[in-house]
Structure 1
Amino acid sequence: MATVATQTPQVPAQLALDRWKADERSQSEAESDAFVQDAIRQLSDSALVSQFEANVKQSGTWANEVDSSFARVMNNFVDIVNRYGRDFPALGGFLNEWRGLNQQWIQHLLLSRDVAAEHSAILRRFDRVFLDMVLHIQTDQDRLDVIVELEEFINEEHDNSHKMSRAFLELKRDIRNFVQRLDRYIDEQGTALLDAAKALRTQIEALTAEISALDEQINSTRLALAISGGLLNVIGMITAGSLLATYQNRRNERDNDRTQRQNELNEVNRRQAALAFLKIDVANLQPDIDLICERLFLFAEIWSSVRTQSIQFRSHIQGGMDAVTNMRFRREVQLAQDVCAPLVRGLELYSAELGGRLVQKGVLTVEQLKEDTRAQAQSAGEIKRRSETRTDSAVPVARAQGGDQAQVQKDANKTREQLQPAQLEPVPEMQARN
């Protein structure tokens, strides 16, 4: 799959996030603030956010292309076994094993769609419920209540992500093991075929030399017959004629033998070519499998990342109201919110991209796809309603910096995505998300 060979470049926002995360411990607070603020600015750029979403969706495209590669290798494998299975009986066993790996791949893709849907819901709740709770803490009791809410969220079980991660890791390992064993078998058979080809070439060369010698004898005999003429008509014609016939018959036999050996050599060459093609065809799929597995490992880490951030935020607000109103902390919460939206959209696009392919394969039905979409929409609606209920009841939160107090005003008609970069300096006003 040619398109998989080159991974989509990361957008600047993602690079900033990665750098911030990697260097956080060694940065001063000012440097860390700059990274967070820069990431927030870039995540307010609709073009960059669209690219971020497209990067996540691209995994679905890659998965579809890997699936097409799986199908192509399967078809080539079946063709080679049909043609050469009698000569290489072990290939039938390899084919059955490959069918099993292909079925595992399909099941893992189905699981990845489930995980994408689950993580979309998790990210929505994390963004619109729990992070909103943190940003709308007004009293110490609010703070204690949010700590309890975060604790319950942290203790939730979402095992599908770990199951998916293990599944793709095991599949990647099994395919690598399969490729190594198939390579060994093909190399062994290739050595045997090379030996057979060498023996056949030696036989062909010997037969060619014998035929050349017989041609000389036949020509000499014909010349003798022509010179002797009438003298041999009585006593030599029959003898010479019989000798010529003997030479000619022997020459025909050797030529037939050589033709048979050449046909056998051609067949050996075809077998060598078929095995070499199969070896290359299967080996070419390995990098694609590795790439898609690595990307899906990142999907599997979403819940772990959300849980880790929730633990960090909970620990921070346990420090009291001063910790809650700390500007650096609030910007980190804002950044967490801003990352959620493109991730959710990207996961939905991934699910849709992959769903179309699975419907084509008959693994999913159109009705199942529609039902999945309805369920996701219902889940998103419930999360939004809970968020709105929570926000409507919230009291504006005081935020302090340099001794100045800034009220967080709720604007039900404006979302976080609509905030302009200028509004984030020097003290951004946190607004409720719809």
Structure 2
Amino acid sequence: MSGSDLQRMVDALAEKIGRSVAINDPSVHLMCASRHYGDEDGVRVHAVLQRDGGSAVIGHLLAQGITGWTRPGVIPARPDLHMRARLCKPIRCRSELLGLLMVIDPDTLTEADLRTIEDSAAAIGALLYRDFVTEDAQRVAAETAVLELLCGTAEQRTAAQQALSRQERLRSGHHATVTVADVVAPEKDNAQIEVALRVALEAVARNRFDEIVFAVEGNHGFLLQSAPAPKEHLREQGAVVAKQVREILGESARCVVGIGTTADGLADAWISREQASTASRSARTLPGSADVVLWEELGVYATLLEIPEERLTPLLLPAALTRLIANDPHGRLVNTLAVYLDNAGSGPDAAAALHIHRTSLYYRLNQIEQITGLSLSDGGNRLALHLGVRMMALLDDPS
């Protein structure tokens, strides 16, 4: 699309109604803005300077459900964000949402102004749709290649690698690190979640445009980068994504991020993706887990989390551990067993960790042996019980 064509149409509309006009894309990023007419607020000024109103503003807009609007509506003011009320006119063509036309202070618009806005929005929609077909096809092709490279069959991965190479989407193919972002937001619809993920992932990719590509599918976001990066940088990058998604969707939403290890080239990127998905699942499942988890730090959970969620039930726990749980209503013995095993069967270390005398510890261990019928001096018994105790953390109700 010719940016000058869109700018001319926006300027013409602003001149006719004597008001500032802005066009945002469906992800609520500023595409085009007229000059100010004395009606600007803090959000408009920031957006014009930064091309982005900020996560809190995007979240406020999305909370109104604007991505599903088919008719003009009013975005309520948010004084805490220095934001005045706005008329929002969705720009659609053939049912596709192509943009959002914004005019501040809707209460002062006349009927003639509203008709002019409707007419201009129709013309702008036709202009945007002209390039939407081409640009969207390119975006869909790129994201499809990313998804097939990371989640497809061996044949699909080979074709996707070739497609990304032809598109020159990645500068280098010698490394491949995958980050998976999963959103849990029961109160939000799919469109809001997708916009939030796109905004967050795009912000990261924009800073390293020749080394990162991303794709969004449902409530999952995939970030693929071809340049090596220290794990702390990857952790910080993941934290930025999680924070921005939460700011957009609100505190009731949670975005968890898993990061895989660096693979030797795009052909093995799927391995990093599987690791990242496992790490993301751990962040979502393990009590007290951080929002960002690296696969290499999962320890034994990297193996346990390979068990499909539908198979992960109390039936997998050792029968001896199930007996202990049933006979330990307050969980004191189970906790003692967990601490003892975590300390490699060292009585002094376990007693110190539990803040009890060694005599008390050995009394409890004797009780555990009597209830389970297992000797804790046997390495095989300790391994089975230790795996069971770790698995309990993955169960909603281990009893």
User: What is the TM-score with the length of structure 2 in the denominator?
Assistant: 0.22
Q: Which has the higher contact order (CA 8 A, sep 6+)?
A: 1
Which structure features the higher share of strand residues? Answer: 2
From the CA coordinates, give the structure whose radius of gyration is larger. Answer: 1
Which structure features the higher share of helix residues? Answer: 1
User: What is the TM-score with the length of structure 1 in the denominator?
Assistant: 0.20
